[in-house]
Amino acid sequence: MSASFSSAIQAAKEAAGAQHYPQGALYVVATPIGNLADITLRALHVLGLADGIACEDTRHTQQMLRAYGIDKPGSALLAVHQHNETEAAQAVIARLREGQRIAYVSDAGTPGVSDPGARLVAQVRAQGLTVIPLPGASSVVTAVSAAGLVDAGESHSGFLFRGFLSSKATERQHQIAALATQPHAVVLLEAPHRMEALAQALAVLGERKLTVGRELTKQFEEIATVEAAGFAAWLAQDANRLRGEFALVIHPAVTQEATQDDRVLHLLLEQLPLKSAVKLAADITGEPRNALYERALLLKRGASAED
């Protein structure tokens, strides 16, 4: 983004400058997930005030700071990422004990939510030092806000944040089978190079709705709601749909009718082979055989995962 943030820096000083910012504290700062204008005024003020900034990627953070007009020498930036977080936390703690204000930022979004930061915060708190969170952008909440979950019903309110599933196909299948029985919405994150595999794995959810958030807050943001069984086909319609970062919301699907169908399937599967159980369940419930077959597979996989 080429826009000047000089007025935002001034507004941050006026709005947040009079507040108290204790020394010797770690400030966990949420940063934009794409659109630089999504930074908060308090975050801008603290990033400028901080004696040091611990960050997932020093180059990325330096570029972000310069975009906002915040000038920090390279020595003020400390690399704290997933590969060195436990060890690097000691350097942060040492600075905090000297009375410095240290901010921590991940590359995008809220630290500690599928990003580094949780181990750092845990070690700082274990030393009896102060941790101050500065809320802001989050791909998780952003995706949920655009999913339109109003039809979920009171008993299905809320959502489960699962994050990244396993990259191993068998383990991922077991995880999806377990998630399928959740009465709440489920939020997943995924990188573009694994989206096709995830889409194919999610197909077992059949008609269950997915809200797909791609490149959220960025120029080519795309948000769509599709059925899980058609997700792979939706991706294949446009090569651009495999670009960028993804946040997916699996909508609640368990209704009273679905619960009854599952009960019938469960009882039949205990006594009959899968195909026979599905055929008889279709005769009993009147539900489509293909949908019942997918549910039966999920029930069997879920039972296997628990064994």
Q: What percent of the chain has pLDDT over 90?
A: 71
Look at phi and psi of residue 15 and say left if phi exceeds 0, alpha if psi is from -120 to 50, else beta. Answer: alpha
For residue 307, pLDDT over 70 is answered with no
Residue 174's nearest CA partner among 58, 302, 272 is 302
Q: Note the pLDDT tens digit of each residue in 147-171.
A: 998 765 555 568 999 999 999 999 9
What is the reported pLDDT for 152? 55
For residue 121, pLDDT over 80 is answered with yes
For residue 287, pLDDT over 70 is answered with yes
What is the reported pLDDT for 156? 59
Q: Among 166-170, 206-210, 280-284, where is mean pLDDT lowest?
A: 280-284
For residue 271, pLDDT over 70 is answered with yes
CA dist 244 and 215 (Å) reads 5
Residue 255's pLDDT band (boundaries 50, 70, 90)? low
> Euclidean distance between the first and final Cα of the chain, in Å?
52
Question: What's the average model confidence in pLDDT over 228-233?
Answer: 96
State the chain's mean pLDDT as an integer.
90
What is the reported pLDDT for 20? 96
pTM: 0.79
What is the reported pLDDT for 2? 45
Can you read off the two tokens belonging to residue 35?
A: 């659109």
What is the reported pLDDT for 299? 78
What is the reported pLDDT for 3? 60
What is the reported pLDDT for 89? 96
Residue 254's pLDDT band (boundaries 50, 70, 90)? low
Reduced to 3 states, what is the DSSP secondary structure of residue 104? strand
For residue 17, pLDDT over 50 is answered with yes
For residue 101, pLDDT over 80 is answered with yes
226 vs 179, residue with greater confidence = 226
Angle between the 289-306 and 274-285 helix axes, to the nearest 10 degrees? Answer: 130
Residue 217 near residue 33 (C-beta atoms within 8 A): yes
Q: Note the pLDDT tens digit of each residue in 212-229.
A: 999 999 999 999 999 999
State the CB neighbour count (10 A cutoff) for residue 104: 27
Residue 227 makes CB contacts below 8 A (sequence gap 6+) with: 206, 207, 208, 209, 210
Q: Note the pLDDT tens digit of each residue in 57-81.
A: 999 999 999 999 999 999 999 999 9
Q: Note the pLDDT tens digit of each residue in 80-91.
A: 999 999 999 999
Q: Note the pLDDT tens digit of each residue in 122-136.
A: 999 999 999 999 999
What is the reported pLDDT for 198? 96
What is the reported pLDDT for 263? 80
